[in-house]
Amino acid sequence: MALEQIKMPQLGESVTEGTIEKWLVKPGDHVNKYDALAEVNTDKVTAEVPSSFTGVIKELVANEGDTLAVGEVVCTIETEGGSSVEVVEAAPEQPTAETVKPAAEVQKNAVPVNREKGAKARYSPAVLKLSQEHGIDLTLVNGTGNEGRITRKDLLKIIESGEIPVAAPVESKVEQSQATPQAQVTAAPKAAPVNVPVAVGDIEIPITGVRKAIAANMLRSKHEAPHAWTMIEVDVTSMVQYRDTIKNDFKQKEGFNVTYFAFFVKAVSQALKEFPMMNSMWAGDKIVQKKDINISIAVATEDALYVPVIKNADEKTIKGIAREVNELAAKVRSGKLKSDEMQGGTFTVNNTGSFGSVQSMGIINYPQAAILQVESIVKRPVIMDGGMIAARDMVNLCLSLDHRVLDGLVAGRFLARVKEILENITKENTSVY
């Protein structure tokens, strides 16, 4: 018999952790390879974790509601044949009075953990987040994971005990104002929870794993990316007329609608080829200009927002884009969207106009460098050449950009090119096929 481990998979580009929403198995269950073990939520997708082996579930290391970093073990499975495999991050054995000191004693005698010479401490994002939230000095924590690695469960036990290990004060002539930033961070008090008064008739809505993940990703984007915003007005009268003349025949022939949104995605894809800097990402010490043009589109359900991706959108016709938009939206709303259909996006186009919005500022889909909001097409009086006033179909395109990657010059030229493409879509010079 061999003990194998199932780890938290990478469920999307830039995804670093996932939340166990629901276990689909229990210890003792027999599973086949590729059977679904659990439902996992991230900021980008809700997906099932498949089994990599055929065997019997030995232990569920994570509980429902737990958030684990990519690569951390979620459960163990016993298979036949082969040698035993050591389980990384598996739950430790039940502590005994001889092996575990009371939390108060740990706090009282807290000293830095003596790790092997040359060993480098490695902490998962979940561990770092917990330690920062609760002011835990990780150098004083003994980990129970592989090679003494500190796990999320180690910190949860400390937090539940109420005795947080912090470094003992060191006698020094250095003034408090000269203390190192790290020392100040360690000693910082835990932020107080938000106290919202609840009155009779108020409804408290539990935060789901998906909503937590969305909130975390939006917060990260706003904190890390310096957002800039610009808007351009586009006359799409000719485009509207062209689409309206072909929509009925198109639907009868193809079986799905050709929407205005497909024209916008095509125009953006074409402009991205001409302004490749707009198709870039911030990568810490460098900027990565992506070769493929993969357009992320936002699809909302009643309680969440999903961002599937149209791969190589610049190589597709308007018909091909319309088909993919229709198929991806249907998969989101039926819960059949796959994790790989959420990955690889390089630029986001959001159809805010479908809700009647005429002006909005989107939050960038991290780590992308920009997001374009396509607003509602409305008829407005416009002064034409010669001074005549006419009713025209107008739309606002609102661009949010990461100012670390993009400047106003390239963003302005990009929007101007999108405007030019859209205003020249006519029956005579444009084909949807």
Bridge-based pairing of strands 295-297 and 347-350 is parallel
pLDDT at 111: 52
Whether the Cβ atoms of residue 412 and residue 230 lie closer than 8 Å to each other? yes
Q: Domain for residue 274, yes or no?
A: yes
Beta-carbon contacts of residue 108 (< 8 Å; ≥ 6 apart): none
pLDDT at 10: 78
pLDDT at 166: 62
Q: Domain for residue 114, yes or no?
A: no
Q: Domain for residue 323, yes or no?
A: yes
pLDDT at 306: 87
Q: Tokens 């405007």 correspond to what residue? A: 419
pLDDT digits (tens, 9 = 90+) for 324-364: 999 999 998 888 888 889 889 999 999 999 989 999 999 99
Which backbone phi and psi does 300 adopt, to 5 degrees?
Answer: -100, 145
Tokens of 358: 């005429």
- CATH number of the structural domain spanning residue 313: 3.30.559.10
Domain boundary residue, one of 27, 49, 79:
79
Domain boundary residue, one of 41, 56, 79:
79
- Collapse the DSSP code of 138 into the 3-class scheme (helix H, G, I; strand E, B; otherwise coil) and give the result: helix
Angle, vertex CA 169, rays to CA 163 and CA 172, nearest 5: 175
Angle, vertex CA 67, rays to CA 348 and CA 54, nearest 5: 100
Q: Domain for residue 360, yes or no?
A: yes
| Cα gap 20→32, rounded to integer Å | 20
pLDDT at 337: 87
Nearest residue to 167 via CA among 110, 125, 211: 110
| Cα gap 420→428, rounded to integer Å | 16
Radius of gyration of the chain (CA): 27
pLDDT at 273: 97
Where in the sequence numbering do the catalytic residues fall? 403, 407
Nearest residue to 338 via CA among 308, 297, 295, 302: 308
pLDDT at 312: 97
pLDDT at 186: 36
Whether the Cβ atoms of residue 313 and residue 322 lie closer than 8 Å to each other? no
Query: What is the sign of the dihedral through the CA atoms of 387, 391, 392 and 396?
Result: positive
- Note if the bond before 193 is cis, omega within 30 degrees: no
Q: What DSSP designation does 181 have? A: H
Q: Domain for residue 241, yes or no?
A: yes
Nearest residue to 55 via CA among 89, 26, 29: 29
State the maximum Cα–Cα separation within the chain, in Å, rounded to a whole number.
93
Q: Domain for residue 92, yes or no?
A: no
Tokens of 386: 């010669």
Question: Letter for the amino acid at 292?
Answer: D
pTM for the model:
0.61
pLDDT at 362: 94
pLDDT at 135: 75
Bridge-based pairing of strands 347-350 and 227-235 is unpaired
pLDDT at 284: 85
pLDDT at 379: 96
Q: Tokens 């992308």 correspond to what residue? A: 368
Nearest residue to 342 via CA among 330, 322, 328: 328
Tokens of 223: 């904190």
How many domains does the structure of the chain reveal?
2
Q: Which residues of the chain have pLDDT under 50?
A: 82-110, 116-120, 169-191
Domain boundary residue, one of 79, 106, 141:
79
Judging by beta carbons within 10 Å of its beta carbon (0-12, 13-18, 19+), is residue 175 exposed, middle or buried? Answer: exposed
- CATH number of the structural domain spanning residue 70: 2.40.50.100
Q: Which domain holds residue 305?
A: 226-423
